[in-house]
Amino acid sequence: MPLRANLSVLDNIALIPQYRHNLDYETASGQAWNLLLLSGVESAALKRDPQLDHVERFTAKLLRAAIEQPPIILIDRPALLLPDTHYPRFLRGMLERLSDHLNDCWILDYRWNAPLYHPHPPSPAPR
């Protein structure tokens, strides 16, 4: 689902605990800010949807899903959300950074993209 266009990234993420648990704005935005710091996109905190690049928008949506620590997060065809990005490496790094806040995360992608997710074999030692 798209972000709310008239709220900043920080407000979009904080809105979930505000709605689900009636947390006050300061507490909810504090939680959202911690996640933004962890993910490394805190510079996007006050931006709204039209000002975001693909990586910032994807991260905002991922954090919005992660803030409630659901049992599973499903990332459906990440290439659609992250064009012009080497997304397997980006996803691996992002999921590692957020590992304390994620229970289980599944990535759904086309079979022919499977090799992208395998780490590169070590390059042969120079002779």
Partner 1 sequence: MTNFLTRRGAALLAMLRVWRATLSLTGEVVVAALSPAVYNSATRTVVMKQIYFTAVQILVPFTLFAAILSFVLIQIVVGTAAKYGLSEYALEMVVRLLVLEVLPLVTALFVALRSGSAINTEVALMRINNELEALEDSGVDTLRLEFMPRVIGGMLSVLSLTAITSVLALVLAYLAVYGLQPWSLPDFTRVMGQVFGGGILAGLGAKALVFGLAVTVIPVAEGLATPKMMFMAPISVLRGMVRLFFVLMFIEVASLAFKYI
Q: Which residues are paired to 106 by β-bridges? A: 74
Of the candidate residues 10, 15, 41, 91, the single one contacting partner 1 (CB under 8 A): 15
Residue 126's alpha-carbon distances to 119, 121, 122, 123, in angstroms, are 20, 15, 12, 9
Q: Which residue has the tokens 């910032």?
A: 56
Q: Which residues are paired to 75 by β-bridges? A: 107
Cβ 81 to partner 1 shortest distance, Å: 15
- Return the range that interacts with partner 1 (CB under 8 A); candidates 17-25, 50-58, 72-80, 114-122: 17-25
Q: Which of residues 28-87 bind partner 1 (CB under 8 A)?
A: 28
Q: H helices then E strands: how many in the chain?
A: 6, 2
Q: Is 18 in the site for partner 1 (CB under 8 A)?
A: yes
Interface residues with partner 1 (CB under 8 A) are 1-2, 4-7, 11, 14-15, 18-19, 22-25, 28
